[in-house]
Structure formats: structure tokens, C-alpha cells
Amino acid sequence: MAMRLDLEKLNIFYGDFHAVQDVNLSVAPRSVTAFIGPSGCGKSTVLRTINRMHEEIPGAYTKGKILLDGVDINGKDVDPVAVRRTIGMVFQRPNPFPTMSIRENVVAGLRLQGVRSKSKLDEVCEKSLRGANLWDEVKDRLDKPGGGLSGGQQQRLCISRAIAVEPAVLLMDEPCSALDPISTLAVEDLISELKTDYTIVIVTHNMQQAARVSDQTAFFNLEATGKPGHLVEINPTEKIFSNPDLKETEDYIAGRFG
Ligand SMILES: Nc1ncnc2c1ncn2[C@@H]1O[C@H](COP(=O)(O)OP(=O)(O)O)[C@@H](O)[C@H]1O
Ligand SMILES: [Mg+2]
């Protein structure tokens, strides 16, 4: 079910503002790609474009192509809602529906799709919570509100919710930035397990995290505020962190800017 993702000459705009320029990159199925780079270089913008959330912003548009197993997700006949179901997203701050029960949080997407069978919903609920390494911690309190969980548990709940609809690609925008170190490790372990089933793209500010969880790393940068962000280098993570092709990448990784 994991799918290949290709960005071809992707340019992203907010009205007159050219936010991201000429991104070309490929993500293999069942792999983790990390996006790194200074704040404002367009990492979140690229991620939102990949699941067609960008176009919800008034005046926002893109040029170029985003291919999912070779099919243009912006094609004329493609339904954006179907794209968002195939390409799931986890955000920086865990955003469960706070008063909704843990169980209902997990199956919210299935309910929207019209699934009514209680046994089916229960089955997906357990499978998704197990998939997000959360089942053992919550199995006795499935009817309690999602908002009552710790931050780390809430983020794993959001990951359960995202995988419950069986997406092909999982996008994560700094999923650990609001978490403590122990929860961060739990989510990182989970990412390593999820890549056996999903294609994963994760934005992270944490270089160690990129080095720990990803197979390839894409370094984005921008020349100055107001200039578009662009992809500087994409390579296997080990190479980016030991012997990058470009001095610009090396300087960023060494903490010399950003
Ligand atoms: N909704 C928006 N409207 C206009 N400009 C935006 C919007 N969101 C982000 N931007 C701009 O796009 C650029 C890239 O932002 P962003 O993708 O958030 O960068 P990053 O995630 O790398 O920090 C920034 O200049 C930012 O100000
Ligand atoms: Mg961002």
C-alpha cells in the first residue's frame, strides 16, 4: 500500500509571493525522507502541497507536478479529499478532538467515510492504536476523552487516527517538537516501524532525529527573507551527515547558520 512520490519542478506560491522554487525529488515506497533547513525555507509549505492542503489558502497555487505512483495528484479528475485520504498528515502540535473519546478519535476518518459496523470500527481502532504503539496504554480507557492523554500519547493518538484510514503516504510536520525526550523516542521508534508499511516524509528541526529516523535527507535553504526556498541537496542520510556534496549543506549541519 506504500506508494512512490515524485516532485517535479514544483513551484509554490502564496498569491504574489513565490515561496518555493523548482523542487525535484523522489521518495521511494517504504522509506523515510527527512526535510531539514532553516525556518521559513518552505518545508511545511512543500508538505501541505503534497496532500493538497495548500490550495485551501486563498490565492495559493502551485506549478509543476506531484506524482503518486506516477499519477498527478493535481490532475483534473482527482478529488482532493481522496488525495488527503491517501496522503495522511500529522502536525506539529497534537490535535486530537479533545472532548471526543480515544476510540472515536481513532475512527473519526472511517466514520466520515460512512463505516457504521461497530465490529469493523473496533477492529480498526485496536489495529491503529497497536500500530501507533499506544494500545497497551489506553486499552482500558477507550471511552475517556482524547484530551486527557499526555502530549506524547496525544501525538501517538493523532498518528493512530492518520493510519486508521490506511494512507499510502504519511507526512509529519515536526511531530516531536512539542514532546518531551521520552515521548520523542517513542514516536521515533514508531516511525521506524511504520516505514515497513508507509512512505514517510518528516520535517524536523532536530538533526539527530533526522539522522536517527531517515533513509534520505533533503536540505532546503533560502538566500534571504522574501526569496523563495529551494532544495539544496538530497542524498542518503548517512552521506548528508558525513560527507555532503555541497559546502552549504555542511555549514548548515555543522550549525554555522540557521
Ligand atoms: N499562509 C501563508 N500565507 C502567506 N505566506 C505564507 C503562509 N504560510 C507560510 N508562508 C510563507 O512561506 C514561506 C515558507 O514558510 P514555511 O513553509 O512555513 O517554512 P518552514 O516550514 O520551512 O519554516 C515563509 O516565507 C512564510 O512566511
Ligand atoms: Mg514549518
pLDDT in tens, 41-72: 999 999 999 999 999 999 999 999 999 999 99
Number of the ligand 1 atom closest to the C-alpha atom of 46: 17
Radius of gyration of the chain (CA): 18
Under a CB-based contact definition with an 8 Å cutoff, are residues 151 and 95 in contact? Answer: no
pTM of the model: 0.94
Report which of residues 258 and 99 the model is more confident about.
99
Inter-CA distances, 213 with 12, 239, 258, Å: 27, 14, 21
- Separation of CA 92 and ligand 1 centre (Å): 14
Phi, psi torsion values for 243, nearest 5 degrees: -155, 60
SS3 220: strand
Query: Which tens digit of pLDDT belongs to each residue from 117-142?
Result: 999 999 999 999 999 999 999 999 99
Query: Which tens digit of pLDDT belongs to each residue from 161-200?
Result: 999 999 999 999 999 998 888 889 989 999 999 999 999 9
Q: State the DSSP code for 130.
A: H
- Separation of CA 12 and ligand 1 centre (Å): 10
Inter-CA distances, 9 with 20, 65, 137, 195, 199, Å: 10, 7, 44, 26, 21
Phi, psi torsion values for 17, nearest 5 degrees: -85, 120
Number of the ligand 1 atom closest to the C-alpha atom of 173: 21
Nearest protein CA to atom 24 of ligand 1, as residue? 40
- Separation of CA 173 and ligand 2 centre (Å): 7
Number of the ligand 1 atom closest to the C-alpha atom of 60: 3
Domain 5-253: homologous superfamily in CATH: P-loop containing nucleotide triphosphate hydrolases (3.40.50.300)
Compute the Cα dihedral for 205, 210, 213, 218 and give only its sign.
positive
- Separation of CA 220 and ligand 1 centre (Å): 13
Phi, psi torsion values for 107, nearest 5 degrees: -95, 10
